[in-house]
Amino acid sequence: MRYRNVLVAAVVVALLAAGTAGAVLTTGSSGQTAQHAGDRTVTVSGDGSASAAPDRAVVVAAVVVEGDDPAAIRDDLATGAERLRSALEEAGVPDSQVTTGEYNIRENRPRRPDAEPDAQYRGVHAFEVELADTDDTGAVVDAAAGAGAEIQTVRFTLSAESRDELRDEALTSAMADAERQADTIADASDLRVTGVASVDATSSRVRPFALDVAAAESADGGTAIESGDVSVSASVTVVYNATG
């Protein structure tokens, strides 16, 4: 269609999770602006998505200490954190890829009002370990667990470059969906689409693959982890000019 080049200049890139497609046919008035120069407009919402194998993994490992003395908990957290960092370094993880995600010491609160906690305080120092090679995930999980850390989450995601590529694919798919709807509606209304008046896309979302850590298989003394694809979804609202 001749209006595709206009679309490239008009689109404001943003994405959101796939929603319900919709369409509106409106009749313009003689006071319309040049943007809506046609006698009528067709408004549609188009959806698209794209997926790919992850190229990044994030392991969240935490040192957890309980006790009745906050000062002692603080010291134990420091000792556990040093032990965890050393284990990760031995596993080949640079220190630059390890960042603190959470640090707190707070009073233990039992889940039931009539229950008594085993210790008065609970301290947590959680680290996020970002891996550029997803094949290293199992070894890093084993190293962290071997250092006494709790493995809280393992998720697989995409690098910024890969996200951009999938976003473009999802947008292309969403625009194709919008174009198909507009043509269908125009044909059913004895109209002809003549061009794009405006395009609106409002937010973005990447859906990483989150692993159930408890379901990870252990083989030959090591943890074997299989990941699923990461998906990006897009939704656009497009207003097309049309004539009868």
Q: Give pLDDT tens digits for 196-239.
A: 999 988 656 888 888 766 656 555 557 878 888 999 999 999 99
In-domain check, residue 170: yes
Q: How far is Cα of residue 208 from the mean position of the Cα atoms in its chain?
A: 5
- Long-range contacts, 165-170 (Cβ 8 Å, 24+): 165/52, 166/50, 166/51, 166/52, 166/206, 166/230, 166/231, 166/232, 167/13, 167/15, 167/50, 167/204, 167/232, 167/234, 169/48, 169/50, 169/232, 170/15, 170/48, 170/49, 170/50, 170/232, 170/233, 170/234
Mean pLDDT for back-to-back runs of 10 residues, the chain (244 residues) = 35 34 43 46 95 96 96 97 97 95 90 73 96 94 96 94 94 95 95 93 78 60 81 95 91
What's the length of the chain?
244
CATH number of the domain encompassing residue 120: 3.30.70.2970
For residue 108, what pLDDT is reported? 86
For residue 39, what pLDDT is reported? 67
Residue with the two structure tokens 């032990």? 83
In-domain check, residue 227: no
Residues 134, 111 share a domain: yes
In-domain check, residue 218: no
In-domain check, residue 130: yes
For residue 4, what pLDDT is reported? 38
In-domain check, residue 177: yes
In-domain check, residue 222: no
Final residue of a structural domain among 135, 157, 179 = 157
For residue 223, what pLDDT is reported? 80
How many CB atoms are located within 10 Å of the residue 224 CB? 12
Residues 150, 66 share a domain: yes
Residues 122, 80 share a domain: yes
Domain that holds residue 139: 56-157
- HSE on the CB side for 128, CA within 13 Å? 11
Nearest CA-CA partner of 63 in 144, 139, 7: 144
Residues 153, 65 share a domain: yes
Residues 82, 29 share a domain: no
In-domain check, residue 81: yes
Residues 63, 132 share a domain: yes
Final residue of a structural domain among 157, 187, 222 = 157
Final residue of a structural domain among 157, 174, 199 = 157
In-domain check, residue 217: no
Residues 149, 182 share a domain: no
Residue with the two structure tokens 């609160």? 109
User: What is the distance between the alpha carbons of residues 90 and 194, in angstroms, rounded to a whole number?
Assistant: 63
- DSSP state letter for 147: T
Residues 135, 85 share a domain: yes
